[in-house]
Every structure is written in C-alpha cells, then in structure tokens.
Amino acid sequence: MILDRLRSAPDSRLLPVERLHVPTVAVMAIMTFAMMIIAAAGLALANAAGIVTSGIENRYVVELPAAAEGELAKAVGAARATPGVRNATPVPEAEMRQTLERWLGEAASSTDLPVPALVTVELLPGADPRALAERLRAQAPSARLIAETAELEPLLRSIRALQWLAIALVVLMAAASSAAIVLAARGALDTHRSTIEIMHGIGATDAQITRLFERKIALDAAAGAALGALAAAAALFVIAGAGVALAVELTASAPLSGTDLVLLVLVPVAAVALALAVAHWTLLRALRATL
Amino acid sequence: MGLRYGTGAEVLRDLDFTLGEGGFYFLAGASGAGKTSLLKLLYLAQRPTRGRIRLFGEDLSDAPRERLPLFRRRIGVVFQDFRLIRHLSAFDNVALPLRIAGRAESEVTAAVREMLDWVGLGDRAGARPPTLSGGEQQRVAIARAVITQPDLLVADEPTGNVDAEMAKRLLHLFSALNGFGTTVVVATHDFGLVASTPGAELMRLDRGGLVDPTGSFKNPPAASGRGARQ
C-alpha cells in the first residue's frame, strides 16, 4: 500500500519537486533514535529481570530462629518428604558464622552469639510451596518458609517500574512524532492551498489530494526514521560492545534476544506507518473543513 | 436563492432563474455586483446560504461534499485570475482535469497537444506559467477548462487579457463547445463580445440582484440556427 502511494508519476508532478523537509526529517530521526534506545533499554531490563527471577523463582529458605533440640532435623526431614521438593539442604553453622564474620569480625565465632538454623529448599517447577509450609508447621512450629524472590521483590518492582517507564516514554515519543507530523501536514496544506483549491475546483477528490501529500510526508518520515534507526543501531553497538560478551558469560544469554532485535527493527517501520496514518487523518480532516 | 459570506450582508439576493441546457449566457454587471459570487455557486465552490440550486437535474444545495467532485468534473471553469499551478508546465496544467478524471496517459497526451495547438500554444507546452504572458496564461486556463468538453462552462472575464483577435478565437471556441451541447456562462464587461455572439442571452446583475432575468435580452440566432435551442 505504501509503495502504491509512492508511485503514479503524473500524480507525483502535481506538487513541486522539493528536497526533503528538513524539520520533519530531523524530528522523525530524533524520535526514532530515542524510541529505539529506550525500547532496547526496556527489553534488556525485562531480560535481566527474567534471568534474575528464573534463577531463584523455585528457591526457598526455611529459617529456624531458635531451633529446639532436633527441630532442624525434623524440618529437613519434613521438607525432603514433601512432594515437589527437589532438594533440601541445611546450611552448616560454620558456614553461617563465616558469613557473619564479614560484619561482626571474630565475634561471629563466639558461641554466645545465637545463629539461626537455615535450610535451603529447591522446589520442582510448578510445585506448590503451601504444602511444604503446612508440613513444616506441623513438624517444626518455629520454622518460617521464605521465598528468595521475596528478598528480591523490591529490586524486581523497580525493574518492572522502569519497564513501564520505558513503554510510557516510547508511547510519548510516538505521540510527539505524531504531533510533528500533524504540524508538517498542516504546513504542507497551507503552503499548497492554492493548488488544492484548483484541484478541488477541477473535481479532485479528497483521496486524490491526500495521496499527494501522503507521498511527500511518507518520504520525509522514512528518511528520518532510517537516519534515526542507523544512529540508534550505532549507539547500541557502541554501548553493548564488550558488555555483550560479559553478559553472555555471566548469564548465559545476551541482553537482547533475536525477538528483541526484530522488535527494535520494527520501531522505525512502525514510526513511518504511524506518521502515514496521522498524516492521512490530518489531511482528510483539514480537507473536510472545505467545500 | 441568496448568498452571504460569514455574517455580512447578502452579496446575492433573491435570485431565481433557470439556465437552459445548451444555452449561451453572458453575465454582466458592475464590479461588486456579484458576478463572481454567482459563478462560484455555478461551479460549486460555494453553497447558497438560502434557497436551492439544481445542477444537472440534481439539487446540490446541501448534497454531501463527497458527491461534488463528480459534478465538478462536468464543469469547466476559467478563473479571472487563471489559477494555474505555477510549478506545472502548460501541458500539465491543461492535462490536470483529464488526469484527475483518470484518463489514460496516451489519451491525455493527444488531447492536450491538440488543445494547446488550438489555443496557439503548441510550442509553449513545456513552459511554466510564470514564464508565460498574461494572455498566454489565460489561454492555458481556457484550454484546461474546455479540455474535458464539459457540460457547463463557466468563465470569469475570459477575454480580459487577450487581444481582439484572440478574443474572437476564444469566443469561437466557446461557441463551438456550445454547439456540441455545452452550456456556457461568461461573465464579462465587454458588451461587444455579447453583441457578437449569436443566440446568446444576457443576464445583468446589480448589487446582488438579477436586473434582467434570463431571456429579456437575447441576440438573434446565427444563420445556422445554433442558438435556437435555448
């Protein structure tokens, strides 16, 4: 459809041959650049959140703040006996005290310092932690079952908020691009008002007139989007650089997947499509205000 | 019918007339009498603010604007200020109505070349309006108005910028079109033009009103009897 709109040689002569409208091209380039960078950041954040969540989503800790005699063993036994539990491993006290040494120094080794007993539990995917909690309540009343994701919830909440912020920014950028296209379309109508009046007078339909301007705006928008996309690709390449290799090494996955790259490529395409739709709507609306 | 612009006084008032199909009409009146406004109503650039206007057998007073282009394609208009598209060549200006109507390029080329030859601008086909004289621009405007052999030809002072010889030729062109059945309405100050057109009728406007309704002044028909169809 876009190509059809760009063809038709006799029609294309009806408006003067002009160079690209620099303000429109510049606005489209800047907006496309910003949208792609923000979208890439949002997608990378989503991937990071996914990696963090997938690593700990089935991991729990059983905490026994003041374990009674034999309660730790009961808790471990109860956990291991619960269906859906892959493994349950008590954390040795020595290991706990070693960890505490970072903050407390040698005092951490003192037997006067009570150390809670901990059991790390990994559930099978899809297993219900409530069954484990019930068994623990029955066998070791002082035990508390804590999901590891709960510890990271504030971080995950921040990542989700940033993702929404990225989406909102992309939408705002798209809205700003649309506003620029509306102004460009109105400007084009004003510039060529006499030509439009002549064409209307001779029997041109709104669709015929609209097509002339859409062609011009599509070319401006496509040029701007292409420039912005190239700049964004270059910026992402520079930012990612060696970081990609490191990320792959640390997380066994790239910050942006193949699907993400396809989505990013679609950003300038969507920007041009949006510009065309907005231009079409603006032009028709303006023409309908005339006889 | 009547016409007013915005909240101003009526520029046309209480007009009530019928143009016969295939007739040739001159519209005369002092500057500001309302000739151009009346022509605008005829070529559907304005709607009457009161009353009705029927064109080609249809009431177009409040017809949806989407329907107007098809009717406009049946009307040729010669504007007082020519209204040529400055960046298009004479050829492309004349070709515009045919292209808008969706005619094939081969048909457009032949018709436009013939028309430009007829108005004496065959060798100026590639020239753009700013490089043409006033008279040449007017001939291009006339060629554009008549190229589709419209059912109604409306011309606002069409001979104002051409010499007597060219005026005669253009009037002959209008008469020839009229002979093929085109209804012609010409606004003019030139009563010599009126007198030299056999069978033409004169409508006179004064301060927005029609002083001499159609038929009160009529030239005798030409010897061929062309004007007898009014």
Write out pLDDT tens, residues A180-214: 889 888 888 888 888 888 888 889 999 888 888 88
| Band of pLDDT at residue A3, cut at 50, 70 and 90 | very low
User: Mind telling me how many Å the CA of B107 is from chain A's nearest CA?
Assistant: 13
CB contact under 8 A, B69 and A204: yes
| Nearest chain B CA: its distance from A48 CA (Å) | 55
Residues A27, A22: Cα–Cα separation, whole Å: 9
- Do the chains contact at A10 and B99, CB–CB below 8 Å? yes
How far apart (Å, rounded) are the C-alpha atoms in residues A208 and A201? 13
Which pLDDT does position A211 carry in this prediction? 86
Q: Smallest Cα–Cα separation from B174: which of B72, B76, B39?
A: B76
Quote the tokens at residue A155.
């971080």
B57 exposure class (CB count in 10 Å sphere: 0-12, 13-18, 19+): exposed
How far is residue A119's CA from residue A80's CA, in Å, rounded to a whole number? 11
Q: Give per-residue pLDDT as tens, A211-262.
A: 888 888 888 999 999 999 999 999 988 877 666 666 666 666 667 788 888 9
Rounded to an integer, what distance in angstroms lies between the CA atom of residue A202 and that of residue B68? Answer: 10
Name the least confident of A18-22, A36-40, B128-132, B182-186.
A18-22
The DSSP output letter for A7 is -
Residue type, B94: V
Of A13, A198, A200, the CB nearest to B92: A13
What is the structure's pLDDT at B169?
A: 77
| Chain B contact set for A291 (CB, 8 A) | 44-47, 65, 68
User: In the predicted model, is pLDDT for residue A43 greater than 80?
Assistant: yes
The position carrying tokens 């004007």 is: B227
Angle between helices A258-288 and A148-191 (to 10 degrees): 40
Tokens representing A78 are 């109860």
Query: Which residue is it, tokens 């009161």?
Result: B50
Residue in A closest to B147 by C-alpha: A202
| pLDDT tens per residue, range A255-273 | 778 888 899 999 999 999 9
pLDDT of residue B185: 94
Look up residue B49 and give its DSSP letter: S
Q: Please give, rounded to a whole number of angstroms, the shortest distance from the CA of B75 to a CA of chain A.
A: 8
**What is residue B91's predicted lDDT score, i.e. its pLDDT?**
94
Q: For residue A198, list chain B residues with Cβ-Cβ distance below 8 A.
A: 83-85, 96
Task: Give the residue from B45, B91, B78 showing the smallest Cα distance to B145.
Answer: B78
Contact A201 B68 (CB under 8 A): no
Q: What is the pLDDT of residue A7?
A: 46
Structure confidence at residue A111 (pLDDT): 77
Task: Tell whether A199 is within 8 A of chain B (Cβ).
Answer: yes
Query: Tell me, what's the pLDDT at A249?
Result: 65
**pLDDT confidence bin for B220, thresholds 50/70/90:** low
Distance (Å, whole) CA A285 – CA A44: 40
* Interatomic CA distance for residues A119 and A125, integer angstroms: 19
Q: In sequence order, what E strands does B50-92 have?
A: 54-55, 58-59, 75-78
On the question of pLDDT at B109 being above 90, the answer is: yes
Strand pairing report for B58-59 and B54-55? antiparallel
pLDDT confidence tier of residue A14, bands split at 50, 70 and 90: low
**A18: pLDDT confidence band, cut at 50, 70 and 90?**
low
* B153 DSSP β-pair partners: B76, B184
Contact B96 A202 (CB under 8 A): yes
pLDDT on residue A2: 46
Tokens representing B135? 């008279």
The string of pLDDT tens digits covering residues B110-165 is 999 999 998 889 999 999 999 998 888 988 998 999 999 999 999 988 877 777 87
pLDDT category at A162 given cuts 50, 70, 90 is confident
Contacts of A203 in chain B (CB under 8 A): 69-73, 75, 97, 100-101
Q: What is the percent of chain A with per-residue pLDDT over 90, rounded to a whole number?
A: 20
Tokens of A168: 């909102």
